[in-house]
């Protein structure tokens, strides 16, 4: 599995959101998209990361970006997680690992699903990749900086 890098085309994935509705990345072309992979709903690091994206959500939407979180948790878990923490963005259920595989997101120490954020430009090209299992809040700053710089 090869992790995608800046300059690569974003894969065309379709997964169910926290309401069971299918969401296709191709349908978001024309705007910036921040896709962040996280290990699991309601764990300390993932909750901190998701709540940080929530707290900066207006900054992302003001910059013309959509935020999407992806983990292997099922639809119902995502729905509960989003409601509990008032997450205003889409969470996608990658139960079989299709998206994780398409983006090449591996495991940390061979155990934990990786924590990686991709910023995709309006044409569908990955502009930046930020990977840090242990600095979940840094993903937000890196993603916003890429969008604001336009590259």
Catalytic residues: 46
Bridge partners (DSSP) listed for residue 131: 116
* CB environment 115-147: b (16+ within 10 A), e (fewer): bbbbbbbeebebbbbbbbbeebeebbebbbebb
Q: Token digits for 126?
A: 């990955």
Residue with tokens 């840094």: 138
CA dihedral for 135, 140, 141, 142, sign (positive or negative): positive
For residue 96, CA distances in Å to 24, 49, 72, 80, 134 come to: 16, 23, 7, 20, 24
């Amino acid at each position: 599995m090869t992790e995608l890098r800046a300059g690569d085309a974003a894969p065309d994935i379709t997964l169910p959101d926290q309401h069971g509705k299918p969401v296709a990345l191709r349908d978001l072309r024309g705007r910036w998209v921040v896709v962040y992979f996280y290990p699991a709903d309601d764990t300390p690091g993932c909750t901190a990361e998701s709540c940080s994206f929530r707290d900066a959500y207006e900054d992302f939407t003001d910059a013309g970006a959509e935020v999407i979180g992806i983990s292997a948790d099922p639809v119902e878990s995502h729905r509960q997680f989003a409601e509990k923490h008032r997450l205003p963005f889409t969470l996608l259920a990658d139960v079989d690992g299709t998206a994780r595989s398409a983006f090449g997101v591996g495991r940390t120490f061979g155990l934990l699903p990786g924590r990686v954020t991709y910023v995709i430009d309006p044409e569908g090209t990955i502009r930046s990749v930020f990977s840090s299992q242990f600095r979940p809040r840094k993903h937000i700053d890196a993603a916003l900086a890429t969008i604001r710089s336009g590259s």
